[in-house]
Amino acid sequence: MKSKVLVTGANGQLGKTIRELSTNFAKSIDFVFVERSELDITNSKSLALLFKTNHFNYCINCAAYTNVDLAESEIAAAIDINANAVKNLAENCKTYNTTLIHISTDYVFDGQSTRPYNEDDPTQPINAYGTSKLLGEDYIRKHLDRHFIIRTSWLYSTFNKNFVKTIFNKLKNDKKLTIITSQKGTPTSCVDLSNFIMFLIINRVSNFGIYHFSAEGETTWHGLALHIAQLLGKTSNVSAIKDYPSKAKRPLYSVLNTKKAEQLIKKPLNNWKASVDEVIKSLSTD
The predicted-structure confidence for 42-57, as pLDDT tens digits, reads as follows 998 999 999 999 999 9
pLDDT recorded at residue 14: 98
pLDDT tens track for 113-124: 999 999 999 999
> What's the average model confidence in pLDDT over 196-208?
98
* Residues 152, 188 contacting (CB under 8 angstroms): yes
Rounded CA separation 132/230 (Å): 37
Q: 163: Cβ–Cβ under 8 A, 6 or more apart, which residues?
A: 154, 156, 187, 221, 224, 225
pLDDT recorded at residue 286: 78
pLDDT recorded at residue 37: 87
Element (H, E) at 179: strand 177-180
Percentage of the chain exceeding pLDDT 90: 97
Round the average pLDDT of the chain to a whole number and report it. 97
pLDDT tens track for 223-265: 999 999 999 999 999 999 999 999 999 999 999 999 999 999 9
pLDDT recorded at residue 180: 98
pLDDT recorded at residue 36: 87
pLDDT tens track for 59-71: 999 999 999 999 9
| Predicted confidence band of residue 1 (pLDDT cuts 50, 70, 90) | confident
> What's the average model confidence in pLDDT over 193-209?
98
Helices 221-232 & 163-172 angle (0-180, nearest 10): 40
**Residue 276, CA distances (Å) to 154, 155, 251 in order:** 12, 11, 22
pTM for the structure as a whole? 0.97
> What's the average model confidence in pLDDT over 136-153?
98
> What's the average model confidence in pLDDT over 148-169?
98
* Residues 93, 147 contacting (CB under 8 angstroms): yes
Rounded CA separation 134/138 (Å): 6
Rounded CA separation 192/223 (Å): 20
Backbone angles phi, psi at 48, to 5 degrees: -60, -40
Residue 45: CB atoms within 10 Å: 9
Tell me yes or no: is domain 3-161+187-216+255-271 CATH 3.60.21.10. Answer: no
> What's the average model confidence in pLDDT over 155-177?
98
Does the pLDDT at position 171 exceed 90?
A: yes
Rounded CA separation 286/278 (Å): 13
